Structure 1
Amino acid sequence: MSSSELPEWMETDLQQIREAGLFRSRRTFQPQPGGRCLLEDRELINFSSNDYLDLAQDPRLVSAASEVLTELGVGARASALVSGRTNWHTRLEEQLAEFEGTESALLFPSGYAANLGVISAVAQEEDTIFCDRLNHASLIDGCRLSGARFRVYRHDALEKLKRELAKSTGAGRKFIVTDSVFSMDGISAPLPDLCELADEFRASLIIDEAHGTGVYGKDGRGLAEELGVEDRVTIRIGTLSKAVGCLGGFVAGSATLIDWLWNRVRTQIYSTALPPSICAAACAALQIIQTEPERRTRLQELSQALRSGLRERPHLTVPDSRGPIIPVVLSDPALTMQVASDLQETGFLVGAIRPPTVPQGTSRLRISLTCAHQREDLERFLKALDGSLARNGQSR
């Protein structure tokens, strides 16, 4: 075999993926207004988007980005540390700090980079990290990369976490790491209980508000704001790519924390900075989030309506959650793919989530709503879902 030929094990592995019903193909997707999309030139109602507040195509964001594109061009040209930090990066970090009610904030090229870099920087080999089993891959990868002792806990079994915290002794520090809202289940983490445990055992609590920012809280700062525990969280990480409708990650906190991260986090130091136009768009989005709370209200109303409709169908397994992420657990990956295909044929794009993204036996449809959807969309979806399940022998 020449050096340019791919090894046989790759084709063997791909074949095994196909046989298990887990092969992922690439598709052409184009967002459209009103919670719609074009999938390979066919218009569908988009129930797979994380653009919860319908800001990604908002004319105010587009205008802000366009102006800066004309002024400064496309790329940032270098890492923020070297020469890529423009006045728009500064402005966005200042707005994020004001929005989050903190002294300072720091941008990252993505939410993944923020989680991976921050956790692997703050935790050391002599430390112990306690990581929720439902955490996003970026949090898990950051925990593992740190080299710290790695312990997995369940947010619905905190007595075990308490015992593990009590057993963890020595000079090393303790970190509890969690999403505020788990991305595949839509379930909220018990942040007040985690704060109590962190206080009791002198642990640092790190939370990722990726699916909380813009969606929860009176001012849209996330679940920690809604539950009144913002000041008890050691490190708050967020993303700009979901409800904010843009791209990037951030950390909000004290000036000391941000200065330390600026000097220590490799994913920030060695990554090209965000495009300035994206920073301008994110600034516009933050203003909208603060001045148009009705977007959050409508999102919650739609979420409650669809969740109620799904729970009226006793043959469906819908986790006890709230908010715009609504999973329907079908267990079998082949059935999940078939139902998602049926829904696509009837006009709906829904995420079909299979292992290894979720544990074996929990394949699911991941429905995610935006405030742009209509009640009629939800009613049509429920009818389409009923029809698909009946055709696949899963009717009530």
Structure 2
Amino acid sequence: MLQQPLAAAPDQPTEPTSWQDTVQWRINEMAERVRRGQEDNVYYFLQPVAELDGAHVLVRGRKKLMFASYSYLGLLNHPKINEAAKAAIDRFGTGTHGVRILAGTLTLHEELEQTIARFKGTDDAITYSSGYATNLATISTLVGRNDWVLSDKWNHASIVDGCLLSRAEFVRFRHNDMDDLARQLRKAPAGVSKLVVADAVFSMDGDIVNLPVLVDVCRRYGARLMVDEAHSLGVLGKTGRGIEEHFDMPGAIDIKMGTLSKTIPAIGGYIAGDKRTITYLKHVARAFVFSAALPPPVAAAAKAAFEVLEEEAPARKAILQRNVEHFLGGLKALGFNTGRTVTPIIPVIVGTDERAMAMTHLLQEDGIFALSVLPPAVPDGTSRIRANVTAAHTAEDIEDALAAFARAGRALGVIA
């Protein structure tokens, strides 16, 4: 993600001359970029957090206000979730006997999947070891040679990698442009299987996919629809059930993907859908068949988190929405460019890589844990600070963050 131009390291050639040289050149180049960033005091990736205290974290002896968290509803360290994880260790230990399809399935795994299916309104569900593995395995299992897979251009990297791995005809349509999607679908040969994949909430800009029109286009052209709800679970819908609830369209999505590491404070990913599809994935998806099962405390924590969502989501969502409106409104009033976001993912677009990294430095020194996002994760010229608001923030926290952003923005000439 460090993209500023740098000279070659002293011990490497300027231009690689062989495959081996190319690999080593890339390794050396990244090492040099990291070293320069650290030397210039603008490298803030991979910071080790020593303690969690609500919306605050302790980093290298300094307490900072966290604005890079995916814990949208503030469920990290929720007592019910923590107790469930501890009880699972007492009962099952810290691991399993292997992969799920052989000796690794516990009653906990079945209970978690039943809980997810109930929460998402489907027949069944499957869980994987990570959200990335979920997209990679599911897409590459559902489509293959001679099929078509169509992906929004702003989809997450895990979706893109799943499409590439599938070896299907991979077509990208313009971001949230359903007319372009329809044009691409019309090009598909008659009789081919078609899968359309989109994020529900786009992770770099915070905007929401146009689900009503997306569903209409997919049905019109006979395509199955898969939606990644990594950033919409707990965020969209009155009870946090996601984008179908947000648009009042229950059952509109064929394949519902989500993660267990954002609103749900664990690790892993899931697919919720009809029983036949889930059975197929459990016997064919390589990242499920050949990956070790989720550890018992993780599965128990995720299950408890869904139960907490059912009990507490409306109240926590009200706090989250208040915080989003407070922070986003404050940034706009200061003159920052926040793009098209309508969710807790709030991009503060500053333009150049150097300016984004300098702003990260000023914010971090001011006690705000926020990070820059640079190309190729975002288009050239749109480097940004991606600030995530959560229900753990207080109104005072929001005001403190706005003041810090104002100081940094003025110091760098981002705002007047």
Q: Work out whether 1:166 is the aligned partner of 2:186.
A: yes
User: How far is the alpha carbon of 1:9 from its aligned partner?
Assistant: 4.9
User: How far is the alpha carbon of 1:339 from its aligned partner?
Assistant: 0.7
Distance in 2 separating the partners of 1:178 and 1:145: 17
Q: Work out whether 1:323 is the aligned partner of 2:343.
A: yes
User: How far is the alpha carbon of 1:208 from its aligned partner?
Assistant: 0.6
- Alpha-carbon RMSD across the aligned residues, in angstroms, is 2.0
1:9 to 1:104, Cα distance in 2 relative to 1, 3 A: closer
User: How far is the alpha carbon of 1:15 from its aligned partner?
Assistant: 3.2
User: How far is the alpha carbon of 1:170 from its aligned partner?
Assistant: 2.9
- Show the counterpart of 1:202: 222
- Show the counterpart of 2:356: 336
- Show the counterpart of 1:99: 119
Query: Secondary structure in 1 aligned to 2:370?
Result: strand
Distance in 1 separating the partners of 2:402 and 2:33: 34
User: How far is the alpha carbon of 1:171 from its aligned partner?
Assistant: 2.8
Q: Work out whether 1:214 is the aligned partner of 2:234.
A: yes
- Which 5+ residue runs of structure 2 have no aligned equivalent? 1-20
Mapped contact 1:180–1:224 kept (Cα < 8 A): no
Distance in 1 separating the partners of 2:67 and 2:368: 7
The Cα offsets for residues 222-254 of structure 1, whole Å up to 9 and x where unpaired, read as 112211234121111111111011111111111
Query: Secondary structure in 1 aligned to 2:384?
Result: strand
Please tell me the residue identity of whatever aligns with 1:280.
A
Distance in 2 separating the partners of 1:95 and 1:58: 18
Distance in 1 separating the partners of 2:86 and 2:408: 43
Distance in 1 separating the partners of 2:128 and 2:393: 30
Mapped contact 2:173–2:181 kept (Cα < 8 A): yes
User: How far is the alpha carbon of 1:12 from its aligned partner?
Assistant: 3.7
User: How far is the alpha carbon of 1:270 from its aligned partner?
Assistant: 0.6
- Show the counterpart of 2:403: 383
1:243 to 255, 258, 263: 263
Mapped contact 2:235–2:242 kept (Cα < 8 A): yes
The Cα offsets for residues 324-345 of structure 1, whole Å up to 9 and x where unpaired, read as 1111111111111111111111
- Show the counterpart of 2:27: 10
Distance in 1 separating the partners of 2:248 and 2:93: 41
- Show the counterpart of 2:328: 307
Distance in 2 separating the partners of 1:395 and 1:181: 27
- Which 5+ residue runs of structure 1 have no aligned equivalent? none
User: How far is the alpha carbon of 1:167 from its aligned partner?
Assistant: 1.6
Distance in 1 separating the partners of 2:385 and 2:394: 20
Mapped contact 1:195–1:229 kept (Cα < 8 A): no
Distance in 1 separating the partners of 2:338 and 2:239: 28
- Show the counterpart of 1:146: 166
- Show the counterpart of 2:16: none
2:318 to 287, 297, 302: 297
**Structure 1: 4+ residue segments shifted above 4 A:** 16-25
Mapped contact 2:99–2:292 kept (Cα < 8 A): yes
Mapped contact 2:94–2:297 kept (Cα < 8 A): yes
Distance in 2 separating the partners of 1:282 and 1:16: 38
Instruction: Tell which deviates more after alignment, 265-274 or 160-169.
Output: 160-169
Mapped contact 1:48–1:350 kept (Cα < 8 A): yes
Instruction: Tell which deviates more after alignment, 386-395 or 278-287.
Output: 386-395
User: How far is the alpha carbon of 1:17 from its aligned partner?
Assistant: 7.0
The Cα offsets for residues 143-196 of structure 1, whole Å up to 9 and x where unpaired, read as 110011111112343222211111212332111110100111111011111101
1:9 to 1:384, Cα distance in 2 relative to 1, 3 A: closer
Question: Identity rate of aligned residues, in percent?
Answer: 34
Please tell me the residue identity of whatever aligns with 1:49.
S
1:26 to 1:244, Cα distance in 2 relative to 1, 3 A: closer
TM-score relative to the length of structure 1: 0.94
Please tell me the residue identity of whatever aligns with 2:162.
G
Mapped contact 1:14–1:23 kept (Cα < 8 A): no
- Show the counterpart of 2:385: 365
Q: Work out whether 1:188 is the aligned partner of 2:208.
A: yes
Mapped contact 1:216–1:223 kept (Cα < 8 A): yes
Mapped contact 2:65–2:367 kept (Cα < 8 A): yes
User: How far is the alpha carbon of 1:41 from its aligned partner?
Assistant: 2.1
Please tell me the residue identity of whatever aligns with 1:61.
I
Distance in 2 separating the partners of 1:26 and 1:181: 25
TM-score relative to the length of structure 2: 0.90
User: How far is the alpha carbon of 1:348 from its aligned partner?
Assistant: 0.5
